[in-house]
Copies of this chain bind each other. A is one copy, B any other.
Amino acid sequence: MTTVAETPRAPRGRRPMSERRRDLQRLEISREAVRLFRAQGLAATSGEQIAEGVGLSVRTLWRYFRSKESCVEPLLSQSSAAFVAMLRRWPRDRSLEEHLIADARPSSPTSPGDDEAALAVIAMSRAEPAFRAIWLVVHERSEPVLAEVIADRLGRAPEELAVRVQAATLAAALRITTEDYAVALADGVAITGEDMVARLSEAVRAATHGVIGEALT
């Protein structure tokens, strides 16, 4: 604190874009970009096409994203965040499987195709290294939040090495089941939500032998 006065002056000109608004804009761009990527592939899609599709200038596009590949990030983040949010609602007296079943997710009501689009990107990431890299980074970003969830359940600190590793384990289980699901979807194999829940719980239980996933008495 070097300034004594708290500078109570009201801000003058145009207010900065709200974070919410900015995220929505990025999401809109992301939807169009993924649509083009799915239709033409990454290499065949230019920044100009993406910008035109959203009705922005190319210059502005590069103000929202630092590279064209990273345009897929908001869609991936959204589905990742949805899952993390669900885990935050995980009551202590329920097992993971019980909670997954109980907390049936209605997807994002705003745009029902978002989940499918995100899964398509994940499936594409098998052949597209740039997508794979972004997917892994996005997913890793959720680990600290998962660490909080686990720390809360176990009554430990989120910074503890063991808690962080367990969070990474949970994240990995989620990542692997999600990828399996994405690949199956891309190959036209139908997987039910119950299958997903079962596989995810199995993965977590098998990996941790009950360290995570069980109900707490």
A residues at B contact (CB < 8 Å): 129, 132-134, 136-137, 140, 161-162, 164-166, 168-169, 171-173, 175-177, 180, 199, 202-204, 206-211
Contacts and interface: CB of A to CB of B under 8 A. Distances in A.
A31 to B, nearest CB: 22
Contact of A161 (B169, B171, B202): B202
Nearest to A133: B133
The quantity of this chain's copies bound in the complex is 2
Nearest to A175: B168
Nearest to A205: B162
Given A133-B133, A136-B136, A209-B208, A202 B169 contact: no
Contacts of A164: 176
Contact of A173 (B165, B176, B203, B206): B165
Q: Which residue among A134, A180, A206, A209 has the maximum number of chain B CB atoms within 10 Å of its CB?
A: A206
